[in-house]
Amino acid sequence: MSKILVKEIEELKLKMLNMFSQVIEAVDKAILGLKNMDADLCQEVIDNDIIVNKQEVEIDELALKLLALEGPVAKDLRFILGCMRSCSDLERVGDEAVNIAQSVIFLSTRPPLSFYDNIYQLGTKAREMLKESYLAFTNLNSELSLYICRMDNEVDELNSYIFKTIINLMLKESPAIERSVECMNISRRFERIADLSTNIAENVVFIEKGVNIKHSCQFDNRK
């Protein structure tokens, strides 16, 4: 590997880690905004999304330049491709944080509903998966990536429980329908953040081992 490619890959990794930090901060603020019904904090999430979008463009441009000019092979090639996939996932996580923030702003001026704590719990699980995906990417840790994949099942189960709870409330209390719809939106967005974190974990396995485990996370026999 040429010295130029080594330097450029280090720059690419640094840009990825910076994007991770920005997106994790957005999700943290969205969750804290939900917990405290803090509209101002949620507005920060919305206003700062432009930073994440800019980071995605910069990473894509650098990755494409490396592919075109440096002729990377093997693990270097997989790393560049994995960065392109993961930065797209991170940008979508940022979008989900914005959607959550918008719903929280709506709910912040209205009476609370009984299942807010369940949604907050879902959010903390999704955030944990995102932070673990950051660590997995930083260290190219496939074992941690598989752990993240298994966590996704817990999030799916909690999301299903929340949806059933919300639907039952909507059937009983029609005045709560508008707020309930926003809560369903938040729950769905958190579940999506968990899915995107799983995507990143799958990308890490691809980078490290050259194995595509998309949609399965089961390239070994561990459960």
Domain boundaries defined on the chain: 3-209
pLDDT at 218 over 50: no
The proportion of the chain whose per-residue pLDDT surpasses 90, expressed as a percent, equals 85
Q: What's the confidence (pLDDT) of residue 213? A: 78
Residue 93 tokens read as 């996580």
- The pTM assigned to this predicted structure is 0.93
Q: What's the confidence (pLDDT) of residue 69? A: 86
Mean pLDDT of 138-153: 94
pLDDT at 173 over 90: no
pLDDT band of residue 221 (cuts 50, 70, 90) is very low
Contact indicator for 132, 144 with CB cutoff of 8 Å: yes
Helix axes 39-47, 74-107, angle to 10 degrees: 140
pLDDT at 67 over 70: yes
Average pLDDT, the chain: 93
| DSSP letters spanning 14-65 | HHHHHHHHHHHHHHHHHHHHHHHT-HHHHHHHHHTHHHHHHHHHHHHHHHHH
Which option is the CATH number for 3-209: 1.10.3720.10, 1.10.150.300, 1.20.58.220, 1.10.10.60?
1.20.58.220
